[in-house]
């Protein structure tokens, strides 16, 4: 992939081009080794020109142009077709960058966090659940001029009302990434109800307290990093690579509810000691509490999804 990983690891910042290339590496599951034409095209010289010369954008990067066994492949080169990953570009110079192409700018911890949440939402939502009746009651009690209310879109409120009618008083699993986004907005103001904790720099009612809790719960970020996370500073290369590496390892197994990667879902498997060091099993069903999606075995999934043994 020709990513200058050693340089990135030693840098105090990581620019958006480098981050984009790393994102492709994280999610690349069907990549084949690019042929020499591709390797020759995407050299460091190409990227140096790409970041320095005016008028360059992601249209300059070939995407799904070559095929292997009659199938087009993602060749693990930087491309941001899904604008939910990186906002403000890629197809044209961003108006927020004072005439510069945004990719040359370093990434803040706030932007990095949002990029990560956007990327992993499609893996995370199935393992979380919510009492939509409770959420609807919370929304109804909000002042329409409050930050919490204004943080919800019209579509968010429609989804809350719809899911509340569908689920009643039952706790329901989230159905898509949009519902996970609502879950995060709700939990930001209701940490205790979501089984979350405040941090040193980011308390209840402040973004991204819920996102940091989720990343910590899924073992993508350490508690120490979460506590010290300052969204106004730049993400350094070492921390970015560490978090993305954890996500890469989780995508294959943990996000599919298979912590030990043995092909058996956690709910049908014994819970491996590494993820459940105290081997707690509240309902004595031989599924450790960390892996059990119904800890007390009453037929309703846990309100906060997968548990944290700590």
DSSP bridge pairs for 106:
15
pTM for the structure as a whole: 0.64
User: Rounded distance, CA 196 to CA 65, Å?
Assistant: 45
Q: State the pLDDT confidence band at 175, using cuts at 50, 70 and 90.
A: very high
Mean pLDDT of the residues in the chain: 73
User: Rounded distance, CA 238 to CA 240, Å?
Assistant: 5
C-alpha dihedral sign at 11, 16, 19, 24: negative
The per-residue pLDDT for range 33-56, each reduced to its tens digit, is 555 665 566 566 666 666 666 655
* pLDDT of 130 higher than 70: yes
Beta strands in the chain, from DSSP E residues, in sequence order: 67-68, 71-72, 129-130, 172-173
C-alpha dihedral sign at 94, 12, 124, 228: negative
The per-residue pLDDT for range 195-240, each reduced to its tens digit, is 999 998 899 999 999 999 999 988 888 888 888 888 889 999 999 9
Q: Stretch 235-257: mean pLDDT, rounded?
A: 78
pLDDT given for residue 89 in this prediction: 31
Q: Stretch 152-161: mean pLDDT, rounded?
A: 95
pLDDT given for residue 114 in this prediction: 82
pLDDT given for residue 5 in this prediction: 82
Closest CA to 127 of 193, 217, 245: 217
The per-residue pLDDT for range 13-31, each reduced to its tens digit, is 888 777 877 776 676 554 4
Q: State the pLDDT confidence band at 92, using cuts at 50, 70 and 90.
A: very low
């Amino acid at each position: 992939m020709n990513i200058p990983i050693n340089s990135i690891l030693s840098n105090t910042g990581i620019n958006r081009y480098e981050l984009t290339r790393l994102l492709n590496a994280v999610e690349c599951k069907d990549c084949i080794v690019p042929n020499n034409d591709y390797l020759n095209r995407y050299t460091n010289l190409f990227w140096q020109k790409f970041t320095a010369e005016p008028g360059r954008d992601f249209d300059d990067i070939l995407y799904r142009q070559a095929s292997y066994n009659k199938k087009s492949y993602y060749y693990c080169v930087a491309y941001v077709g899904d604008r939910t990953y990186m906002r403000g570009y890629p197809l044209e110079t961003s108006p927020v960058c004072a005439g510069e192409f945004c990719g040359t700018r370093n990434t803040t911890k706030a932007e990095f966090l949002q990029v990560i949440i956007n990327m992993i939402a499609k893996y995370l939502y199935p393992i979380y659940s919510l009492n939509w009746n409770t959420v609807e009651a919370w929304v109804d009690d909000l002042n329409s001029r409050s930050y919490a209310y204004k943080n919800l879109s019209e579509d968010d409120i429609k989804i809350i009302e719809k899911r509340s009618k569908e689920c009643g008083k039952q706790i329901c699993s989230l159905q898509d990434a949009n519902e996970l986004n609502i879950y995060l907005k709700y939990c930001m103001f209701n940490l205790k109800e979501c089984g979350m904790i405040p941090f040193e720099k980011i308390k209840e009612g402040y973004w991204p307290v819920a996102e940091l809790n989720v990343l910590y719960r899924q073992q993508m970020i350490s508690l120490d990093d979460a506590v010290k996370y300052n969204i106004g500073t730049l993400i350094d290369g070492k921390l970015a690579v560490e978090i993305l590496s954890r996500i890469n390892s989780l995508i294959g197994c943990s996000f599919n509810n298979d912590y030990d990667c043995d092909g058996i879902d956690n709910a049908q498997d014994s819970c491996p000691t590494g993820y459940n060091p105290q081997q707690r099993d509240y309902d004595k069903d031989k599924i450790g509490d960390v892996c059990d999606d119904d800890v007390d075995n009453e037929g309703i999934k846990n309100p906060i999804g997968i548990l944290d043994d700590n």
